Structure 1
């Protein structure tokens, strides 16, 4: 299970880095700087946030074999997945409907 979570964490890092590259390219082509700043903030806060909020709790749960820590991991990981879906769908209520992903 920890290898799947590590692959998920690395996938998140790669996706957020690719997001920064894509938004930088769009910014160079003439898009506004606002969405570029959001991509940078998302990368800077998303990678350490994912590590602290769901990868490290899984590591601690695997190390101590604690059911409560596994429950915390699953709860936080569900919030992470829901935020990823929200970012990809990009409803028009946030940032004029521009995607965070």
Structure 2
């Protein structure tokens, strides 16, 4: 049986640190949900890029007369939330669609809801919290217009990302509930231990992949069959 080598995050070969995850949407995600998972992945990249832009905006904020505290917090947010957002809410969604796991769906809903709340706080932009949101940007226009314009770019990006996060949360929840998923399914997976037996559940998939090349996993019949994701958002 061929072993799938971790390929994410893509790191140079000379580094001693190796990738932690196997990421292949085309191979592992069922075709009806491939587009949705790909969009959520793009959303994660947008959020990470926005956090990087927030660092630049906080430098402009600092240069225009703002405090250094915002710059320090902006570095903390990009270092903390870029990898954690991938691990804590994108991977559960990825595994949920890959193996029809109600437990991973519930993990995604819980963590991604907290992510949406934090994104709203970042968009508001409370001064001293390290994000160039609306409150901080509008207030700074009276101090330094040039810095405030740079801050406005991050504010607009945060607003777009926050709105898209809300749409994703609603879309995935409607898809999950439409397929008959519920909290009871997640509790059954937890009590039976199926949530941590993903390699066992994917033995058939790996065997077929070895013999016939990349294909889609065979899902257990006891798990809800989610409707096709044909709508646009």
TM-score bucket (shorter structure): 0.7 to 0.9
Pick from 116, 119, 131: which aligns with 1:100? Answer: 131
Q: Tell me the equivalent position of 1:12.
A: 47
8 Å CA contact 1:88–1:99 kept in 2: the answer is no
Larger Rg: 2
* Deviation, structure 1 residue 91: 5.1
Aligned length: 97
- Whole-Å separation in 1 of the counterparts to 2:50 and 2:125: 16
- Whole-Å separation in 2 of the counterparts to 1:82 and 1:68: 22
Q: Tell me the equivalent position of 2:104.
A: 69
* Structure 1 or 2: more helix by fraction: 1
TM-score normalized with structure 1 length: 0.83
* Deviation, structure 1 residue 54: 0.3
* Superposition misfits of 4+ residues, deviation over 6 angstroms: none
TM-score normalized with structure 2 length: 0.39
8 Å CA contact 1:88–1:100 kept in 2: the answer is yes
- Unaligned stretches of 5+ in structure 1? none
Residue 118 of structure 2 aligns to a residue in which SS?
Answer: helix
- Whole-Å separation in 2 of the counterparts to 1:22 and 1:35: 10
Q: Tell me the equivalent position of 2:159.
A: none
Q: Tell me the equivalent position of 1:22.
A: 57
- Whole-Å separation in 2 of the counterparts to 1:32 and 1:77: 31
Compared with structure 1, are the counterparts of its residues 91 and 38 closer, same or farther at alpha carbon in structure 2 (3 Å cutoff)? closer
8 Å CA contact 1:23–1:39 kept in 2: the answer is yes
* Deviation, structure 1 residue 99: 5.8
**Per-residue Cα deviation, 1:31-90 (whole angstroms, up to 9, x for no partner):** 221110010001110101101110111111122111221121122111111110022224
Residue 43 of structure 1 aligns to a residue in which SS?
Answer: helix
8 Å CA contact 1:5–1:55 kept in 2: the answer is yes
- Whole-Å separation in 2 of the counterparts to 1:24 and 1:100: 11
Compared with structure 1, are the counterparts of its residues 34 and 99 closer, same or farther at alpha carbon in structure 2 (3 Å cutoff)? closer
Q: Tell me the equivalent position of 2:114.
A: 79
* Deviation, structure 1 residue 16: 0.4
Alpha-carbon RMSD: 1.8
